[in-house]
């Protein structure tokens, strides 16, 4: 309890705060603009019709987003922590039926790209492995100009209208009063916002899934999120959603593993990407598109303009149309990765926008944020941001101007320079906006087609494998368990009942809460204060939606390769050289990176007196940095490892994180020192081993082949089911 003196000081400080004109407390007040005008609707931007484009006259939106864009300098407000790489893109076959964009129609072109991956919520100094969305932004340096595909590793977003973006980020960032927690959504303000915004439910399912903790930046999907337009040479339009599909498959780490990696190597993803490119193991993705003819715009149960929705691949398959390869690391992190400026408004002829209200707001926000972050209007002249084709216009001067413009004229039209630079005709590659008819009243509302907030969240959850569902339950228990306000937790249970009642029950049990028999319908805060809520009921279904969608589960990803996987070979002096090198060579021949981990650095002396270089010691290595573990034979080596607590912990932890483990039969006593080995079935045949992910054999060659198949499965998540795995 505070003493009398402390209480008196607190009371005096409170009085001073109340008298200060710079102090503000919004409790019980009406929201206003910075000029004091009361706001009737703070949830919808002003549009031309409920599905129309956002209007430039929306002074409420512009004030709000401008203030948000300028809040932090100099690091990015969001996506502050990033990693980048150079590469190339090449289309497989011409897409001229759909678009006139040259890099998508000319199969002979190799288009340079720069890609920046990032976390969203944390600062530049935060860890690579929080539970978070990952940015996936690609800058195409095309011959017609720069095209930026600025997306994430999740295909949907939290909000439908950009006017809510400052609220979302204010909620997820560290709390205002104490700047805690960093790079984490497990706190009151985030879940307070989410529990009051049912439109976020679908995205929350993705964020609580294993997609939020990728094994590697090289092993995650990318999405353009929004629906864009493709326009061909005949000015015919179709809708398109962009996908990046990694050739290594989509893989994650365990949540416990992610937390340990954050403590041991917060640069884990950044290092992994850098080392893969430096070693020549170039990351590759295929570009996929979902094409929707303009005539089919309204045939779905969801609205194509709604960024909280996907198009299930069962309804519109993803066509893989080209490949991107990252083949060069930056020469200077600041000059390239930090100064690169992406903008969703950087498009080329053949690619155009839709009236998605989240996309429309981003078109304003990106330029505005670069002005404050990079010092002025000439950020495009920074080398990493320059197009490969020449720039000619009448823009001059400003902070950090580098171009030396010759001549007298900086205006158009002019006669002193013969009218140059002249306007390009459409046939000459000039950009022309798609002529979409708009006939609507000005209105600050959303279409009724935007108000189904739960069906796709249910689709996502139902599509997950049993281990993935359990991970979502665990994630929600962890996140909401960090929330101090019981009312917020209870509201989230109400939201979850709209997704799946069993999910809600499991989460509620972990939080010590009851699931209401008839949960209160979530408040829709996207409805204006004085509007009739009945007007915002979702439309009834009109097109059959699949019960499950296989591509939504990571269990269905590619599992046919161990390329670039890191394998730890645990060994000590006296190891059997043949037992070690046979497996090591087989792993490396399959594309893996095999590293000897021993009690000390330098060399270990094998039983035949050969020297074997050690890459890491138990002091500098940990199982969380590796995808699988192998223990070779050799009586002295085996005895040393069995007696080494770090070596035994290495194996126990790898088993807990569901990784493949192999041991030569001569090293079985090391496995017998672990907690898990006695639980395994006696049958260690290949079929059984692949199910359990633990292989023991006295045939090093056969063991290596079975081990490779097991590693390719990535993880054996079924081990988690008994819930008897120690820390």
DSSP label at 514? Answer: P
Phi and psi torsions of 58, nearest 5°: -70, 85
152 catalytic, yes or no?
yes
Report helix, strand or coil for 69.
Answer: helix
Largest Cα–Cα distance of the chain, in whole Å? 91
Residue appearing with tokens 């990765």: 337
Q: Could you say which of 43, 44, 86, 152 is catalytic?
A: 152
Both structure tokens of 191: 């879940």
Q: What's the CA gap between 637 and 502, in Å, rounded?
A: 50
The dihedral region occupied by 407, where left means phi > 0, alpha psi between -120 and 50, and beta the remainder, is: left
In 60-179, at which residue ranges do the beta strands (DSSP E only) sit? Answer: 82-91, 111-119, 134-142, 145-152
SS3 329: coil
The helix (H) or strand (E) run that includes residue 291 is: strand 284-293
Which residue's entry shows tokens 């930056």? Answer: 330
Q: Where are the beta strands (DSSP E) in 153-266?
A: 222-223, 228-231, 237-246
Q: Is the link from the previous residue into 413 a cis peptide, with omega within 30 of 0?
A: yes
Q: Residue 713 burial by CB count (10 A; 0-12/13-18/19+): exposed, middle or buried?
A: middle
Distance of CA 397 to the CA centre of its chain: 38
3-class state of residue 53 by DSSP: coil
Which H or E run contains 664?
A: strand 660-664
Which of these is catalytic: 43, 44, 79, 269? 79
How far is the C-alpha of 521 from the C-alpha of 7, rounded, in Å?
Answer: 43
Return d(Cα 495, Cα 482) in angstroms, integer. Answer: 18
Contact criterion met (CB below 8 Å) for 237 and 434 = yes
- 79 catalytically annotated: yes
Tallying the residues shown for the chain, one arrives at: 727
Question: Any idea which residue has 């050739």 for tokens?
Answer: 247
84 phi and psi, to 5 degrees?
Answer: -135, 165
Yes or no: say if 237 and 294 are a contact pair by the CB < 8 Å rule.
yes
CA 87 and chain centroid, separation: 20
CA distance 394 to 406: 11
Here the tokens at position 102 are 């040259």
Active site residues per annotation: 79, 152
């Amino acid at each position: 309890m505070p003493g009398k003196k402390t209480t008196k000081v607190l009371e005096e400080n409170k009085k001073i705060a109340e008298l200060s004109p710079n102090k503000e407390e919004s409790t019980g007040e009406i929201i206003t603009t910075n000029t004091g005008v009361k706001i009737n609707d703070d949830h919808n931007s002003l549009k031309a019709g409920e599905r129309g484009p956002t209007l430039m006259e929306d002074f409420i939106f512009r004030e709000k987003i401008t203030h948000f864009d300028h809040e932090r300098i100099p690091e990015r407000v969001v996506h502050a922590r990033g990693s980048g790489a150079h590469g190339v893109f090449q289309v497989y076959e011409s897409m001229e039926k759909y678009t006139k964009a040259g890099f998508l129609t000319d199969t002979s072109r190799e288009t340079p790209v720069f890609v920046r991956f990032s976390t969203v919520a944390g600062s530049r100094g935060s860890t690579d492995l929080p539970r978070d969305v990952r940015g996936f932004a690609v800058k195409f340096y095309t011959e017609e100009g720069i095209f930026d595909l600025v997306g994430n590793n999740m295909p949907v977003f939290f909000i439908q209208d950009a006017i809510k973006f400052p609220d979302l980020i204010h909620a997820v960032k560290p709390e205002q009063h104490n700047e805690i927690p960093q790079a984490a959504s497990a706190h009151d303000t985030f879940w307070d916002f989410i529990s009051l915004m049912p439109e976020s439910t679908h995205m929350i399912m993705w964020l609580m899934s294993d997609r939020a903790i990728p094994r590697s930046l090289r092993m995650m999907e990318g999405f353009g999120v929004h629906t864009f337009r493709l326009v061909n040479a005949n000015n015919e339009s179709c809708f398109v959603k962009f996908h990046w599909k990694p050739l290594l498959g989509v893989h994650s780490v365990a949540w416990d593993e992610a937390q340990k990696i954050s403590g041991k190597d917060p640069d884990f993803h950044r290092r992994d990407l850098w080392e893969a490119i430096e070693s020549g193991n170039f990351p590759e993705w295929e570009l996929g598109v979902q094409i929707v003819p303009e005539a089919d715009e309204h045939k779905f149960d969801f609205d194509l303009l709604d960024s909280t929705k996907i198009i299930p691949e069962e309804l519109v398959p993803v066509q893989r149309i080209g490949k991107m390869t990252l083949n060069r690391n930056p020469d200077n992190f600041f000059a390239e990765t930090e100064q690169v400026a992406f903008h969703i408004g950087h498009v080329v002829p053949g690619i155009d926008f839709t009236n998605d209200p989240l996309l429309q707001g981003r078109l304003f926000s990106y330029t505005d944020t670069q002005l404050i972050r990079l010092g002025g209007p000439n950020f495009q002249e920074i080398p990493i941001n320059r197009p490969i084709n020449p720039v000619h216009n009448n823009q001059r001067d400003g902070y950090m101007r580098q171009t030396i413009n010759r001549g007298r004229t900086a205006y158009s039209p002019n006669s002193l320079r013969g009218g140059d630079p002249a306007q390009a005709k459409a046939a000459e590659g000039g950009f022309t906006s798609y002529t979409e008819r708009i006939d609507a009243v000005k209105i600050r509302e959303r279409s009724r087609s935007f108000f189904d907030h739960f069906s796709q969240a249910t689709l996502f959850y139902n599509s997950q494998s049993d281990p993935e569902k359990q991970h979502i339950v665990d994630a929600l228990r962890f996140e909401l368990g960090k929330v101090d306000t019981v009312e917020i937790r209870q509201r989230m249970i109400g939201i979850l009942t709209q997704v799946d009642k069993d999910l809600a029950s499991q989460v509620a049990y972990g939080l010590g809460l009851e699931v209401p028999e008839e949960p209160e319908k979530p408040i829709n805060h996207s409805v204006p204060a004085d509007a009739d809520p009945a007007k915002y009921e979702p439309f009834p279904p009109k097109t059959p939606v699949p019960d499950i969608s296989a591509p939504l589960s990571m269990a269905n990803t590619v599992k046919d390769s161990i390329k670039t996987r890191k394998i730890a070979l645990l060994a000590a002096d006296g190891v059997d050289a043949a037992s070690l090198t046979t497996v090591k060579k087989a792993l490396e021949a399959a594309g893996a990176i095999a590293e000897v981990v021993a009690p000390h650095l330098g060399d270990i002396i094998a039983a035949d007196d050969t020297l074997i270089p050690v890459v890491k010691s138990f002091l500098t290595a940990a199982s969380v940095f590796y995808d699988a573990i192998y223990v070779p034979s050799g009586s002295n080596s085996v005895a040393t490892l069995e007696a080494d607590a770090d070596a035994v912990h290495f194996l126990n932890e790898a088993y807990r994180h569901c990784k493949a483990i192999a041991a030569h039969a001569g090293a079985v006593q090391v496995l017998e020192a672990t907690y898990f080995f006695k639980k395994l079935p006696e049958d260690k045949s290949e079929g059984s081993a692949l199910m359990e992910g633990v292989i023991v054999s006295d045939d090093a060659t056969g063991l290596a082949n079975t081990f490779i198949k097991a590693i390719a499965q990535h993880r054996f998540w079924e081990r988690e089911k008994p819930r008897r795995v120690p820390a």
